[in-house]
Chains A and B, each alone.
Chain A
Amino acid sequence: MTQTDPILTVAGLSKTFILHLREGARLPVVAGAGFELHAGECVALGGPSGAGKSSLLKMVYGNYRVDAGTIQVRDGDETVDVATADPRRLIRLRGQTMGYVSQFLRVIPRVGALDVVAEPLIGDGVAREEATARAGALLARLNLPERLWQLPPATFSGGEQQRVNIARGLIAHRPLLLMDEPTASLDAANRAVVVELIEEKKRAGVGILGIFHDAEVREAVCDRVIDVTEFARAA
């Protein structure tokens, strides 16, 4: 295996939701989706709302299940197929290789913003003190006022929560990053910080697959766009 091998290879991916509570109604999402992602590359999933961009991202993360096809992720010297991996293997893959920045922060009662952000580092074995210091530095870069750091983010504004979420998603090194609209609720200044952070990840060799509705951000960070409507049409 060489460095030029893709970090992510999706092939023949198909998914239909079956809604048992609606007389088994079938909601096709994608059919026959296929693409590759290389280290250091940022690729946007494009297409209108409802085309299946988020669902595709969630399938790659293993959050949504797959009816057919493969999702090969390079994990060190191994390759893991997310579509068929044992749950424990998938948890390990998420822990060391694949990060996900969701659109919204899932708040945990009573846990302060600084600890929310530091948690992935602590999971990696970084000492609490260093993890907290790095979390603080990242939150400062994202212009989150220091007086908020110890507070649980439940009462934060949408933009503040999103910045905590981005910091949590980017703080640890993961060779593959999935990002679902990371700048949706941010002002121009903070969008620019996120663009910088994404550029840094790319320079560190991270492969990024994301949904970027903001055209300016997309043009700044993305090397190419994959049109998801192609896959939806087939579905």
Chain B
Amino acid sequence: MITQHDQPLLIAEGLSKNYGARIGCRDVSLAVHPGEVLAVVGESGSGKSTLLGVLSTELAPSAGRVSYRMRDGRMADLASLGAAERRLLMRTDWGFVRQNPAEGLRMAVSAGGNVGERLMAVGWRHYGNIRAEALDWLAKVEIAGDRIDDDPRAFSGGMRQRLQIARNLVTRPRLVFMDEPTGGLDVSVQARLLDLIRGLVAELGLAVVIVTHDLAVARLLSHRMVVMRHGRVIETGITDQVLDDPREPYTQLLVSSVLAA
């Protein structure tokens, strides 16, 4: 669980990202440890997706740096990695689950192909093994094996999202970024997906940075939380502490604005 590894996996220091004069995120520092789920919450425009983009190297920071503990144990400044090395990292050691599965999947490729592609990227060549592993992962995310040759255009929103999770986890990444993974799904579909994510994260000991505006999702999945507003981190702590005893006016507003069902 969280306890054994006290060395951080990812460290962000003084991260800022500007879009011209507009601020995406400003002076954000945080650390993510192995097996730990960190939720980034805030309203639309608070900078949480920008932060995720900069952490995952999809966006170049205007200032600050992100370092990552490579599999050999050394801490690497991500900006210093070559494009090939960074791409390999993203395909193998990292996952990125997007809100819109069409952005995270190849929609014209079969379900099995979507999962198998990541395996081929890490050197799997044997067709039978790749197909068997893909079937195994489809089962893990509760997609019937007879759908392996269908492409995701024929899938419901919830199934597409589960397929995206299988595609991301098949290479056993150590760190997964998630951007509103349950956004836009029906509540019952959302519950199934959350349960699945919760189980897989614990089983595989994944570190996760999850961006969500849904505080219930954050409570269910995360150990720690950062609250963002106007691009800055305004409050951090253990998830239940931030939600049950919010200190900042904005966090109090966020927490008190949720309808209790």
Q: A residues within 8 Å of B by Cβ?
A: 17-21, 58, 62-65, 87-88, 90-92, 95-96, 108-111, 123
Q: Are B191 and A91 in contact (CB under 8 A)?
A: no
Binds A, one of B16-24, B149-157, B168-176, B238-246: B238-246
Q: Are A91 and B195 in contact (CB under 8 A)?
A: no
Of the candidates A21, A88, A110, which one forms a contact with B192 in the assembled complex, judged by CB atoms under 8 Å apart?
Answer: A110
Q: Are B195 and A90 in contact (CB under 8 A)?
A: no
How many angstroms from the CA of A87 to the CA of B220 in the assembled complex?
17
Contacts of A108 in B (CB 8 A): 195, 198, 220
How many angstroms from the CA of A111 to the CA of B220 in the assembled complex?
12
Contacts of B1 in A (CB 8 A): 95, 123
> Which residues of chain B (189-212) have a CB below 8 Å from chain A?
191-192, 194-195, 198
Q: Are A111 and B195 in contact (CB under 8 A)?
A: yes
Q: Does B125 contact A (CB under 8 A)?
A: no
How many angstroms from the CA of A58 to the CA of B245 in the assembled complex?
10
Measured CB to CB, the nearest residue on chain A to B236 is A87
- Closest CB in chain A relative to B200 CB, distance in Å: 14
- Closest CB in chain A relative to B167 CB, distance in Å: 23
Of the candidates B3, B194, B244, B249, which one forms a contact with A95 in the assembled complex, judged by CB atoms under 8 Å apart?
Answer: B3
Q: Are A87 and B253 in contact (CB under 8 A)?
A: no
Of the candidates B195, B223, B244, which one forms a contact with A110 in the assembled complex, judged by CB atoms under 8 Å apart?
Answer: B195
Q: Are B2 and A20 in contact (CB under 8 A)?
A: no
Most chain B CB neighbours (cut-off 10 Å) among A18, A87, A90 = A87
Q: Are A92 and B249 in contact (CB under 8 A)?
A: no
Of the candidates B238, B244, B245, B256, which one forms a contact with A87 in the assembled complex, judged by CB atoms under 8 Å apart?
Answer: B238
- Closest CB in chain A relative to B252 CB, distance in Å: 5
Known contacts A20-B253, A87-B237, A91-B238, then 13 further A-B pairs from the complex at CB < 8 Å, ordered by chain A residue: A20-B248, A21-B253, A58-B244, A62-B241, A87-B238, A88-B36, A88-B224, A91-B2, A91-B224, A92-B2, A95-B1, A95-B3, A110-B191
Q: Are A21 and B245 in contact (CB under 8 A)?
A: no
Q: Are A65 and B241 in contact (CB under 8 A)?
A: yes
Contacts of B238 in A (CB 8 A): 62, 87, 90-91
- Minimum-distance CB pairs A-B, first 10: A20-B249, A109-B191, A110-B195, A64-B245, A87-B238, A92-B3, A20-B252, A65-B245, A63-B240, A87-B224
Q: Are A109 and B194 in contact (CB under 8 A)?
A: yes
- Closest CB in chain B relative to A84 CB, distance in Å: 12
Contacts of A87 in B (CB 8 A): 224, 236-238, 241
Q: Are A19 and B244 in contact (CB under 8 A)?
A: no
Contacts of B252 in A (CB 8 A): 19-21
Of the candidates A21, A65, A95, A111, which one forms a contact with B2 in the assembled complex, judged by CB atoms under 8 Å apart?
Answer: A95
Measured CB to CB, the nearest residue on chain A to B1 is A123
How many angstroms from the CA of A88 to the CA of B256 in the assembled complex?
26
- Closest CB in chain B relative to A128 CB, distance in Å: 10
Q: Are B241 and A21 in contact (CB under 8 A)?
A: no
Contacts of A17 in B (CB 8 A): 245
How many angstroms from the CA of A110 to the CA of B236 in the assembled complex?
29
Q: Does B33 contact A (CB under 8 A)?
A: yes
Measured CB to CB, the nearest residue on chain B to A19 is B252
- Closest CB in chain B relative to A103 CB, distance in Å: 13
Q: Are A63 and B2 in contact (CB under 8 A)?
A: no
